[in-house]
Structure 1
Amino acid sequence: MTPPPHASSHSRTYELFAHWSVISYRYGGWVLLIALLVAAGCGIYVSRHLGMNTDTTDMLSEHLPFRVNMKHYNKTFPQDVDTMLAVLEAPTPEQAQIATKRLVTRLKQDTLNFHDIYPPKVDDFFSRNALLYESIPELERITDRLAAAQPLIAHIARDPSLQALAAVISGAVEELRKGRTMELRPVLAGVSATVDARLAGSPRELSWQTLFQGEPQKRKYQELIVIKPRLDYSQLFPAEQSISALRAAARETGVTDDSPVRLRITGEVALADDELNSSLRGMEFAGVLTFVLVGVVLYFAMRTGGLILNVLVCLTMGLILTAAFATAVVGHLNLISIAFAVLYIGLGADFAIHFLLRYREVLEGRALPAEAMRMSGGDAGAALTACTITNAIGFYAFIPTDYKGVAELGIISGTGMIISLLVTLTIGPALLRFLPKRFPTKSVNGKSPVGKVLELSLRWHKLTYAVTLAASIAALAMLPQVRFDYNLLNMQDQNGEAIKTFRELLSEPDHSPWHAFTLAKDRNEAAHLAQRLAELPEVNKVVTLLDFVPKDQDEKLMLIEEMALTMGPITLSTGKRVAGEHISAQQRKALNELAASLDQLIADHPHHPAAEAARALRVSLGKLFAQLDAANPAERNNLLRSVEEDLLATLPTALENLRAATNAAPFGEQDLPESLSQRWRSQSGEYRLAIYPAEDLNDNEALRRFVHAVQRVAPNATGAPMVSLEAGEAVVQAFIQAFLLALAGIIVALLIVLRSFKYALLVLIPLLLSSLFTAAFTVLLGVPFNFANIIALPLLLGLGIDSSLHMVHRSLNNELVSEVLIHTSTARAIFYSALTALVDFASLMLSSHQGTASMGILLTVGLTFTLICTLVILPVLLRAPTRSIGAGNSEEARSRS
């Protein structure tokens, strides 16, 4: 293969870096001393001035339409920006309400950590007007039920004790047995479940509120508190102090790990905190594992500790200088540019490995150290300069895009490649000055294990062509199935508290925190817009401030007045209970009488609607009697007292809520509490509309349908669904734009460097093939592109160009045919540098952060295909058709190299 008449075009670059390397080598001591001082200064500068911007909204240009809409909404309703949700869970609604009130009172006192505290449902206004929000049929049912239960409630209120409760239920069961119509099943089931829970060692209180409403008691009840914390973006974790203060306040108000009430924290701020935490843990783990595995790979590549140390020192110095550049020019890292360290290890090691293996190859040819330094510095410098140019173009292509997060990564990483080139050819030669000057001579045939394996593709070149063609056709057929996952939740650690809690809230369509918002300029527009949006099949419901003013208030108030008259004045006795053997005997006697009444009901009316609940309670009482009979007097007294507390503890709260609800009065929009109205009507008079989806937005197509349907009616709508979809589309557009810019820039650079369209195409073919195969494998592996792993593309672009350019450059400038090229230090350097990057990226797959893990998968797959396309397919394309492996002239060419 005759090289084109451009080989001399590299002479200036060759001479520049040859001379540069020799000077660094000659004055190695001074170079290392200066480097040490510079590294120390840069390290101090970075530690004091490099910030961390964790605000994900700054990742994309503020001029994008969805960001403009979001900015206007946030300005109109600032209390909804950067909030977190405290979710309190309890076995009964009474416990949840009490705990919420206590925690809200405590949090409002902490103005140092919180701007605003708002419990949406736990408020005196809603307690007083709760019944007005019920439908008329439901209100009639509650009224009838309370009227029937009034004598029982009054009896228990006068004597809130276990024996009184047992006696009341016994009397009610007797009435059932005599034929009276009475809905007793919820009471029987509730008492049975409460007794069973105590006996099983997992006690839970009986909810009298659910009994009054005639509803079965659920496993848990939730109350939400919307919290606007004070965030400090100068810290790595802006919400860390506020979250810690929230947990401390919960402990102070009795919400502990041992209490029946449980606190879980989620919402926008908590999700961002968890994501950053899991992402950093993944990066830290990957960094430690990478350095270990890189050391192992470098041992097999270099075989000497000195050269391994050289690579690691060059990497460390390059990282420090690049971090200093990032500090000076950008000033901070973001959640994407923080990955530059991992990217740098992958690309920076490539530079050092190529230079050092070329140096070792020349020394193995028995050249003197000074001459070897000149030759390796010149050869590696010329090749690495070309790679640096193409790499920098690939990264800098992201600067003009709307994806600011990756644009900052492009600035840092693109310049990092230039820094890596200078560090490699400055620090590398200086270190070699103090390392052994001789290495074991190469074997007679000069064939490395890597080269022997690569010979197979040349020997079976027709099969290589056929397999490549078939794989390319198959990959092209799969391209339409490549997709982008717009769901930001899928990127996070799925075992984190914030994400698990958030997904549970999403499972309740009526209260899902993942909904859209839009604004109306006045009351009339809000009513009209809400009606139009509610008619959409993609919309479940629309909520406005108008919905907080109940309809048919006059009719409902008449029913409430009737309820109040029926209930009468019920006063709960607050006398102190006295424990003792005589009280336990009374309790046991009452429970025995209740068991007897249940037995009679079951015997006389086995098919009665309440018979099943009666049997369950009778079984529970049987278990209770068995434990009481086996216990000593003290244990018996404690067990009965605990059962009594479980059954009657929530009665005071339930009666107070009922008493408050019967004092409802008519009200209008102007009477709504300010804490509520200011969240739905702005100071300028704009009304907020919350639009809830009818479908599960975890499905990308459902998300797209919902967003587009809402935007047709309300073009300025915003919220998490809009942000997820439109941010994803903006990211995809940014990467398409950047890829096209990078490709165009790289083609121009290759034509200038190589001065041959043919050889520029040979450099590009492995890159295009590996990109095609990687895209196809995202479909096969079920790993779609997302906001995190898509940043793997510029790195794969850089590594792909590097590898193929090294091969083509070495082939042309040293007049090597493929059969010789695969046995040179260039092929070995490509293999080991790719292997170094592979262990670097594969470690990311172990991260708990799903976005980081998917990035590791994509990088590992992409780099594997880059290696195959460069070392297997490209040599076949470069091979000389008239030469065969083992020919004598190949040995002659090898000896010249």
Structure 2
Amino acid sequence: MPDPQPDPQHPHRGPGARLTGFTGFITGFITGRPALIVVLALLLGVLAFQGARRLGINQELRAMLPDHAPSVVRLDAAAARLGNQSDLYVTIRSPSRAANIAFGTKLAAALEQRDDMRYVLFHRDPSFFKQNALLYAKLGDLLEIRGRVIAAIQARVRRELSAFPEDEPPLADTELHLDETELRRRYHLEDEPPAYFEADEGRVLVVRARPTYPNTDISRARGLFADVNAVIAATDPAAHHPAMDVQIDGSYALHTRLASDLQRDIINGSLVAFALLLLTVAAYFRGLRAVPLVLTPLLISAFTALAFAAAVYGELNLVSAFIFAVQLGLGIDFGTHMLARHRDELARGSSHRQAIATTIATTGVSTAGGALSTAFSFLLLALAEFRGFTQFGVVAFVGILVAYLAAIVVLPALVLVLDAVWPWKVRSKPPAGSFKRSDPRPVPALALTVLAACLGLGVLGATQTAKIGFEYDLNKLDVPDDRTEAELARTREFRGAVGKVQSTDPTVVLTEDLAQTRELHRQLQAIHELRHDEIAAITGLPPLTPDAEPPPPKPAPRPTPHVADDDPDDLEFEVEPDDPRFIELARVADDHAKLAPETRAALAHYAPERLREMDDLLASVLSIYTFIPELQAEKLAVIRDIRSRIDKKRGSLSDDDTRKLATWDRYLEVDRPVEVADLPAWVRVQFTDMDGQVGRFVALWHVGPTADYVHAKRIHEAFDTLDTSRGPVPAVANYYVIPEIVDTIAGDGPLVISAVFGVLILTAFLMFRRVGQTLFVLLTVVLALLWLAGLFVLLGWKLNLFNLIALPLLIGMGQDDSLHIIHRYREEGPGSLRFVLRETGGAVFLTTLTTVIGFSSMLFVQHQGLRSLGWTACIGMTFCLISSLLVVPSALRISEWLTARRR
């Protein structure tokens, strides 16, 4: 290779050029100890890889909010008080209910032995509730039973004392008709909890277990999933029934499957992106030598960024989960530009030392500008409260800076080390500045046409931006439900067995003690039980949702006790007029059948609009007081009176009445109220917190899609805090983070976008010190974003909390292309546009392509939100490339022409 002379117009070129300042220092450092630099870099990469292996992925939406966010603080408080609130369900299916019960009993016993299970529910003994059935009846029903007893006894006494017994009703018509079957049917005393979670007449049974850790702890959930499957296999379903099928259902199964799918998608997408990057680099540089030269520093920087994330965050959130593949696409830009320029300088006859100096002094500057502007654009995401922005931005900032340093230092050292054993032969190129320069004087018709077309498309996109919607339903951003009809049917069976509402995670209200739990339970249960038209009467507002059925007719006034002529079941009565105690109890029963006065007073604290919302949204209420009957003292007074009256008249009752009464005498033996401590263990264990205290929370379930922002915000605003006599009580739910996330993004978005644009303008101005060329960079990015907006409207796409992150990224990354082109143009001078586009334009095309490849790894995932981020980034970067290759050269050409005209 001939030894060229220094270029007088470009003193940094040529082997004889004197290396001074920072360029000389860096060049001397690299060329003096290249092997040491490579060894240290490889050691850093190995250590970073080991650190990156500890990095996990948190799929919870709460991971996208800071720890001090109100919903996260409440979730942490609930977790500290109650522990895990998600259940693991094992569904057993076979044609035989007996076989299902036998298998479920053995499986439940085996699961109870595990240390990672707080409790296991399978058989729920209902005997306690049968023994206390009359306490769980309504006070009005008990008074009706008492009236039936009084009326029957009075009728029998009248017959016995009548002088004309033949005129009295027949003896059969004065029977009590109070056998157990009749009472349980007539007064709904059979409504105690069923003994098993079952559906389809026992052909489907469910074992319900509460693990000690949440379903979002993926690594432990996977281990639990495998262990429970092993226990199922050891219990041998086929031995109980050849057609028995057993599987794990519920959130643990769902989260484990989604985590495995996401991990597979990340690995597959990253591998595909990495393979495409290898092929792209090899194809561009027309050889395999460039592959290790570019990718070795790149992998070191990517692993370093992941190790940093593992040390600082411990885990990635759902948005930053693909940071590795994205980091590959971003970081490869610097190595590509540096290696391409180094190769070109070698082709012009420079030595490796001079090629390194020239590359650092020229392309290194524009690369530094692009790296710093992109890095700080990412870092500005840390201004956001939304961790989807913050974590992605900080990790990308570290990765970009390390990638740039690796491209400046490690890549040249690696070139020197590799060249010592595998000399690099490049095709010769003409000396720098020897290309033919274009004449700026002719009217740039093509440039004017291209710029006008680009501006026109930008204006068209600007007119469409208001039409871009926002996707508030997170169900549409999740993994699509591709279950078969048979799988959906199985899910419906499982949910029917455990309760369709209760099979989902609840809203939890933490209370201070049992008294506050009881007060809160009463008011929420009243809201739930009142009809919509009754709430409308209280609030004075029309109901949001009409009642499905008309209200039952008001009962007619009841006459004095007598026996009906035709049907003894139509026995009508009223309380004894000479007993004021029971007259008062009847009034109390009537008051509580409508709305207890103290509950009505509590509901009055809520604004009418809010109370109507609460009524419309509340689907179910559960607390320890679901199992504690109300008005127990009043009910016990009625039960004692019934028992006393029957005991006094037992000798005069008919044999049939005596036989029937014997079936429910045990119900009349209840003589003390039911307290929390009296409840069966299988009830209390469900309401025991981590401190061993019982009943200090109320669980709520709501109607409607809780993953929809609009609906979740309605629920959040209606139930955020609930009023009690001792002050407000906060509510918490996993889906409360949804409105907080969207509201946070709405507040962060303008701040982040403005800050990123500020970095873009500042970086361009500091590099070029010219307002016009700074505006060229700004125009390039703005037009690309406006074209993207028009495409969104054309395709019917919406912004969402995932693809929204691409917008500040596009601003930061999109300016790189124009920075490189303008910087190389300033280096080569007027008339060099064709040369610049041929050399730097090719590198710009390659770097954009590699960035698109990095983001394209998201296109292979099932998660629709991440896929939308991938599409937005890929198309946006493509538009940035097109804008850089069309708008910037057109603007520079027109600028040349205007300058020539002025001269």
Partner residue, 2:627: 548
Farther-moved stretch of structure 1 (51-60 vs 276-285): 51-60
Match of 2:230 among 225, 248, 260: 248
Residue equivalent to 1:826: 840
Show the counterpart of 1:78. 83
For 2:114, the equivalent position in structure 1 comes to 110
Q: Answer whether contact 1:230 1:242 (CA < 8 A) is retained.
A: no
Structure 1 contact 538–709 (Cα < 8 Å) conserved: no
Aligned to 1:690: 699
Find the counterpart in structure 2 of residue 407 from structure 1: 390
- Equivalence map 1:39-438=2 (5 Å): 39-44=45-50, 57-80=62-85, 83-88=87-92, 98-111=102-115, 113-114=116-117, 116-119=118-121, 122-124=124-126, 217=200, 221=204, 223=206, 225-230=208-213, 237-255=219-237, 259-267=243-251, 269-327=252-310, 333-404=316-387, 406-433=389-416, 434=419, 436-438=423-425
CA distance in 2, matches of 1:298, 1:290: 12
User: CA 1:406 to 1:94, structure 2 compared with 1: closer, same or farther past 3 Å?
Assistant: farther
Corresponding residue SS for 1:223: strand
Q: Distance in 2 between matches of 1:539 and 1:13?
A: 74
Deviation by residue 1:273-303 (Cα, 9 ceiling, x = unmatched): 3333222211110121112211222233211
The secondary structure found in structure 2 opposite 1:110 is: coil
- CA positional deviation for 1:258: 6.4
Q: Counterparts of 2:307 and 2:286 in 1: how far apart (Å)?
A: 32
Displacement of 1:343 after TM fit?
1.9
Q: Deviation of residue 91 (structure 1)?
A: 5.6
* Whole-Å separation in 2 of the counterparts to 1:232 and 1:124: 30
Code of the residue aligned with 1:517 in structure 2: it is: V
Query: In structure 2, how many angstroms separate the alpha carbons of the residues matched to 1:709 and 1:130?
Result: 36
Determine whether 1:538 maps to 2:616. yes
State the Cα distance separating 1:216 from its structure 2 match: 11
Checking the alignment, whether the CA contact within 8 Å between 2:458 and 2:786 is kept in structure 1 is: no
State how far apart, in whole Å, the 2-side matches of 1:412 and 1:76 are: 33
How far is the alpha carbon of 1:466 from its aligned partner?
3.4
Deviation at 1:424, TM superposition (A): 0.6
Distance 1:881 1:407, change over 3 A: closer
Report the counterpart of residue 597 of structure 1 in structure 2.
none
- 2:34 aligns to what? 28
- Compare 748-757 and 116-125 and name the one that shifted more: 116-125
Q: Deviations over 1:5-54 (max 9, x none)?
A: xx999x9999524652464245433432343344344445655x667667
In structure 1, stretches of 5+ residues that fail to align are: 1-6, 140-211, 452-456, 570-659, 890-897
Match of 1:676 in 2: 683
The 1:708/1:366 distance shift into structure 2, 3 A limit, reads same
Label 1:224 to 1:320 Cα distance change in 2 as closer, same or farther (>3 A). Answer: same
Q: Does the Cα contact within 8 Å between 2:38 and 2:410 map onto a contact in 1? A: yes
Paired with 1:426 and 1:301, the residues of 2 have a C-alpha distance of 22
Paired residue for 1:153? none
Counterpart of 2:714, as a letter, is: R
Q: Tell me how far 1:669 sits from its aligned partner.
A: 5.2
Q: 1:219 to 1:50 in 2, by over 3 A?
A: closer
Q: 1:544–1:348: structure 2 CA closer, same or farther, 3 Å change rule?
A: same
Deviating more after overlay: 119-128 vs 746-755: 119-128
What SS class does the counterpart of residue 440 from structure 1 fall into?
coil
Paired with 1:445 and 1:813, the residues of 2 have a C-alpha distance of: 11
State the one-letter code of the partner of 1:872. L
Which of 294-303 and 124-133 deviates more?
124-133
- The separation in 1 between residues aligned to 2:658 and 2:792, in whole angstroms, is 65
Higher mean C-alpha deviation, range 728-737 or range 308-317:
728-737
Q: Is the 8 A contact 1:549 1:667 kept in 2?
A: no
Please say if residues 818 and 878 of structure 1, whose CA atoms lie closer than 8 Å, have aligned partners that are also in contact.
Answer: no
CA distance in 2, matches of 1:833, 1:439: 21
Q: Is the 8 A contact 1:841 1:856 kept in 2?
A: yes
Deviation of 1:96 after TM superposition, in Å, equals 5.4
Question: 1:622-669 CA distances to partner (integer Å, 9 max, x unpaired)?
Answer: xxxxxxxxxxxxxxxxxxxxxxxxxxxxxxxxxxxxxx9999999745
Please say if 1:477 is aligned against 2:468: no
Within 2, Cα distance between the matches of 1:477 and 1:294?
35
- For the 8 Å contact 1:282–1:847, the answer to whether it is kept is yes
SS across alignment from 2:504: coil
Corresponding letter in the other structure for 1:416: G
Percentage of identical aligned residues: 20
Note the aligned Cα RMSD (angstroms): 5.1
The corresponding residue for 1:814 is 828
Given that residues 297 and 411 in structure 2 are in contact (C-alpha distance below 8 angstroms), is that contact kept between their aligned partners in structure 1?
yes
How many pairs align? Answer: 702
1:451-482: per-residue Cα shift (whole Å, max 9, x none)?
Answer: 9xxxxx98264255235434443454244533
Aligned residues of 1:482 and 1:778 also touching (Cα < 8 A):
no
| Structure of higher CA gyration radius | 2
Contact (CA 8 Å) 1:121, 1:223: kept in 2 or not? no
Q: Counterparts in 2 of 1:562-641, with a 5 A limit?
A: none
Change (3 A) 1:106 1:132: farther
Show the counterpart of 1:518.
Answer: 509
In the TM superposition, what whole-angstrom CA distance separates every residue of 1:184-207 from its partner, at most 9, and x where no partner exists? xxxxxxxxxxxxxxxxxxxxxxxx
Where does residue 528 of structure 1 map in the other structure? 523
Question: Which residue of 2 is the match for residue 710 of structure 1?
Answer: 719
Contact 2:331–2:403 at 8 Å: present in 1 too?
Answer: yes
Cα pair distance change 1:746/1:663, threshold 3 Å: farther
AA at the equivalent of 2:67? E
Distance 1:478 1:798, change over 3 A: closer
CA distance in 2 between counterparts of 1:785 and 1:86 reads 39
Q: In structure 1, how many angstroms separate the alpha carbons of the residues matched to 2:288 and 2:477?
A: 43
Q: CA deviation at 1:64?
A: 1.4
1:587-618 deviation per Cα after TM superposition (whole angstroms, max 9, x unaligned):
xxxxxxxxxxxxxxxxxxxxxxxxxxxxxxxx
Q: Does 1:465 align with 2:472?
A: no
**Separation (CA, whole Å) in 2 of partners of 1:509 and 1:790:** 34
Q: Is the 8 A contact 1:488 1:724 kept in 2?
A: no
CA contact 2:87–2:209 (8 Å) conserved in 1: yes
Say if 1:131 and 1:298 are closer, same or farther in 2 by CA, change over 3 A.
farther
Shift, 1:705, TM fit: 2.9
Is residue 129–residue 661 contact of structure 1 (8 Å, CA) maintained in 2? Answer: yes
Contact 1:788 / 1:855 at 8 angstroms: preserved in 2?
yes
- Counterpart-to-counterpart distance in 1, 2:102 and 2:619: 30
CA distance in 2, matches of 1:250, 1:294: 46
What is the CA–CA distance in structure 2 between the aligned matches of 1:458 and 1:565, rounded to whole Å? 110
In structure 1, how many angstroms separate the alpha carbons of the residues matched to 2:262 and 2:658? 57
Letter in structure 2 aligned against 1:547? T
Distance, in Å, in 2 between the alignment partners of 1:475 and 1:223 is: 56
The DSSP-based 3-state class of the residue aligned with 1:398 is: helix
Name the CA distance, whole Å, in 1 between partners of 2:218 and 2:502.
32
SS where residue 837 of structure 2 aligns? coil
Report what 2:176 is aligned to.
none
Distance 2:657 2:821 in 1: 89
In the alignment, is the contact (CA less than 8 A) between 2:75 and 2:733 conserved in 1?
yes
TM-score, normalised relative to structure 2: 0.66
Is residue 871 from structure 1 mapped to residue 885 from structure 2 by the alignment?
yes
Deviations 1:422-470 (A, max 9, x none): 111112212322054442346999999xx9xxxxx98264255235434
| TM-score of the two chains, using structure 1 as the length reference | 0.66
Deviation at 1:353, TM superposition (A): 0.9
